[in-house]
Structures are given as structure tokens and as C-alpha cells.
Structure 1
């Protein structure tokens, strides 16, 4: 397992986990793979309710905060893993970050903020969607109509559970001194040109704001949505392409609203 701390603006970043490749898959992984296959099949449909559902689904997925997606990348902490990590059987987990964008002595503080600020929100949302699931179950009795409300509640409940579990695992690693931050030369090179304007102004990312706070007056974007492609190649993590794109679009929307631009996501799902 390896962590990347990715700054998106002078005030915001996300942590992404690249888990080790495991041949053995759990039940949840198999269910997720099956659902992904079904969704991919619906995406290829030319018309019909499957196609309409896919279009609606993509719009919903884009509204899910990038912080939630990032925390979901961190695997849940199993009892066995917790015992091994506490007893010192696990090697410290490297955390790559760009030393020219984030001060090294602030990295652990930033990670703790990212791990704690949304933890309670995900816990509450998880229970809320679990409560909705049995309420929406009777819709399945309607012939030829897929129970979309049930599947939506199930997905959002699972998503919040994964983000909550990821945040707890991150805090567990911090509490037990199991993270080893290091300034990645590849990330430093990647950010060098993109930071030039911000660094000329004397700006340096020293704290991460809560997602619900208004953008700072001097907050500037470091990345563009298209930068995800290059970053994914640099870190050999193709999954980062969509993560960067989503984060940039959402942060740009918040900055745009501050200046009267196009509105972004309205609320937390």
C-alpha cells in the first residue's frame, strides 16, 4: 500500500491510496466488479431506460465530493491488519508528496485533517442510507420497473461506509506512527511549472480547509482537469486521472461561485 498527497489548490488537497495488487478478492470486491460490468453494459446501450439511467447516474456521481472518492481509495482496516500494524509487523507506509507545494513538517497535520474532518459526516450518512434501504424495498414489487431508489440507497450507504472506513484507517496509521512521508522527485518536477505563479506570490500550502468552508480570497488552483493524465503516468496510478479531474472541476466551481461564475455541486449526497 502506498499513499499520495495531491495538492489541487493553495488550500486544498486529497490523499489517494494505491493498494497492493491482491489475487484474492473478497465478497464486496466481487459484487463491485459485477456491478461495474453491468453498468458498462448499460453504457453501451443506444437507447432505453438503461441509457437514461446511465446518463442520470453519471450526473449523480459527478456531484459526489472528491474528498469522499479519495477516502474510499483507502482500504478498510481489518482486525488482522490492525493487530499486525500495532505490533510492528507491517512496514511503514510511504506517503509521497511534492515538497515544493507542501511543507514537509505539515504533511502529517494535513493528513490528519483529511482523515478527521468528514469522518462523522460519512458515519451519519451511512446510517441514513441504510435506514432508507428497507423503506424502498417494496418498489421491487412493481413489474418491469427496476428498484432504482433501493440500489441508489445501497450504493450511497456503501460509499459512505467505505469513506468512513478509509478515514478511520488513515487516523489509525497516524496514531501509531505508521506513515513515512517523503518528498517525491517526480511530484516536485510535475508541480514545478504549475506552481511558479503561486510561489512568486509567496503562497505555500500550509493548511487544508474543511470542504464546507468558503474558498479563501487568495486561493489559487495549481492543476487543471487535464493534468490528471500526466500525473497518472508519473505515479503509475491511472486511477488518479479521474480523481484529479473531479477534484479540479469541483474546486473550480467553488471558486467560480465566489466570483459569480458557474454554479457547481449544490449539496452533499
Structure 2
């Protein structure tokens, strides 16, 4: 059990050249949390909630393969909605907290020895990989600010979407098409709940002093721009090196997709912020 815990890793990738400000007045950063893989011998049967999620994902994908009709239209529109969801939410909700260090064990150890961060007698250290150039603010300080903002925000929106579910009941009288408003509200509530739980969990790990900032030569290469690159709203995050990042750390293709989406959103936010500032100066 102890060895896999040490393979949990957090990656911090700044997304804007001028460190464009987010609503929390901190730089835009894409955080990806790589959780330990479950050993086959420990995996056992798939939990009910994961089977439900797999069924939902397969059903959604099948709608995208439809030859027309309302299923394809719903899938097409739904994909556009997904593209607009904040990359921070998507990154947090993908964290499976059940695979990380048990907070209860870390808390008991802290009570005995406040300077110790171990689980089962094995040191628990979670590297926070970041490019060397990410130094202002310090990566760990930024992560703290990020989690302190995202946690309460996702908790609030979880309750808002949960409260909207009862109002979808009238749509159940339509017998042909599923109650799409209900499923949408339930999905948004679930997404914000997952993001809140992840933010709360990561914040606890930071408080237990197990997250350690770690400069990464691989990420430094990711931030090396070609000589032909021109200055724009993005920091020198070289998209051509993203496959190297994915392969070096054995990340999934989904991570590459989410990183690309985060880059696009950061660019739009930076442009919007620049336009707003220019309007204020007039």
C-alpha cells in the first residue's frame, strides 16, 4: 500500500506569459494530479458508482455516433457546453481521492509527531512539479490560494445545481425524450461536488506538509519556445513539446486534451482582460 502512494504527483503549468489574473488575482495555472494506479490484485470488482459513470460515458459516446435525430443534436450541443466548462473544474473533478494517502492516517501521525509526514512507516512526499521559471508567486503558495478559492466556489455551485433538480420534475411528463434538464442539473451538481471534494482533499494534503515543490527539467523544456515564436498572450508554453510531457510522466491522452483546452481558455481570458484594461484606459 505504501509504495503506490509515493507515485502520486501534482503538475503546475502556468498558462499566460503575463501571468494574467484570474478572479482570485493569482496567475492562471493548469494543475494536473496524477493518482497512483490501482494494482490488479487490489482492484477487485468495479464499484457501483464507477460502473454507473462508465455506463453514462458509453451512452453519451453512442449518442455522438448516431446517424442523426435528437440524440446527435443533444450530443453536439453538449460537447459545446463541455468545451466552455472552466479547465480548473475539469482538472479537479478528475482527481480520484480514494487512491491517495489516507488523511486519517496522516492526522494520527501528526498528533504523535507534528514534524512527521508518514503513512505506515513510509515517508509520504507528493512532488509538486513546476517549471523553474514559476517562482512569483511561489508554486506552493499559489496552490494554497487556488484551492482556498476553488473549494468554496464548487461547494456553492453544487448546492445551487442540486437545488435546481426539483424544478426539472415537470419535464418527466414528456414520454419520448429523456428528462434532459434533470440529467444536466444532476451532472453539473456531481461535477462541482467532485471538484469540491478534490480541492478539500488537496488542501488537507498541503496542510499536512506532504506536498513538496519540485522544479522539473522536463517542464523547463516544455516552456522553451522556438526562435520563430512570436510574443502573444501565452507564456512560452511550447505545444509541440506536450507529447514529450505526456510520455515522460506516463500521462493519458485525456490529459493532453485537457491541457490544450486550458491553453485555449487562458488565451481567451487574457485577451478579454487586455480588452477590459484598454477600455478602462480610454
TM-score where L is the length of structure 1 = 0.80
Tell me whether 1:184 sits opposite 2:216 in the alignment.
yes
Match among 125, 129, 139 for residue 96 of structure 1: 129
1:9: which partner in 2? 16
SS in 1 for 2:224: helix
2:270: which partner in 1? 255
SS in 2 for 1:117: helix
Gaps of 5+ in 1: 202-217, 262-269
Tell me whether 1:240 sits opposite 2:240 in the alignment.
no
1:222: which partner in 2? 236
Measured in 2, the distance between the counterparts of 1:194 and 1:95 equals 26
Measured in 2, the distance between the counterparts of 1:6 and 1:192 equals 13
Measured in 1, the distance between the counterparts of 2:181 and 2:227 equals 44
Measured in 2, the distance between the counterparts of 1:165 and 1:107 equals 21
Q: RMSD over aligned Cα, in angstroms?
A: 2.9
8 A Cα contact 2:224 2:237, kept in partner:
no
Measured in 2, the distance between the counterparts of 1:93 and 1:192 equals 26
- CA deviation profile, 1:101-137 (whole Å, cap 9, x unmatched): 2129812101111211122211111001111112213
Deviation of 1:247 after TM superposition, in Å, equals 0.9
Query: Larger C-alpha radius of gyration, 1 or 2?
Result: 2
Measured in 1, the distance between the counterparts of 2:88 and 2:213 equals 20
8 A Cα contact 2:89 2:192, kept in partner:
yes
SS in 2 for 1:118: helix
Q: How many residues align?
A: 242
1:44: which partner in 2? 65
Check 1:171–1:42 CA distance in 2 against 1; reply closer, same or farther (3 A cut): same
- CA deviation profile, 1:4-44 (whole Å, cap 9, x unmatched): 11121242212111112222443322221111111111111
SS in 2 for 1:95: strand
Deviation of 1:149 after TM superposition, in Å, equals 0.3
TM-score where L is the length of structure 2 = 0.76
